[in-house]
Amino acid sequence: MSVRSNDDRRVVEIWETASTIQWRISNGLYSESAILSPASPEEEMAGEALAYSLQRIGEEASRLTFETKRRFDLP
């Protein structure tokens, strides 16, 4: 598998995860108060799911090649 193919897959993973987070926020599944001060096990699980998704984005972004990071203007 080529480096380009790996980066393409990583970008798709980042995009899909970010899109899922955005959808959940737009549909009220994540709220600031529920994430910062969960009042139920469901809200706590939502916060953990958000943290996992953000971690996943960070992991995938950190594995991108220098050329891809430069193309997307990433640090």
Q: Containing domain of residue 59, as a range?
A: 3-71
Domain count for the chain, please give it: 1
How far lies 7's CA from each of 2, 12, 35, 40, 53, in Å? 9, 9, 31, 38, 18
pLDDT tens-digit series, residues 20-44? 999 999 999 899 998 999 999 999 9
pLDDT tens-digit series, residues 53-69? 999 999 999 999 999 88
Structure tokens at 25: 């926020």
Burial of 67 (0-12, 13-18, 19+ CB in 10 A): exposed
For the whole model, what pTM was predicted?
A: 0.82
Structure tokens at 3: 């480096």
Q: For 52, what's the count of Cα atoms within 13 Å in the CB-facing half-sphere?
A: 7
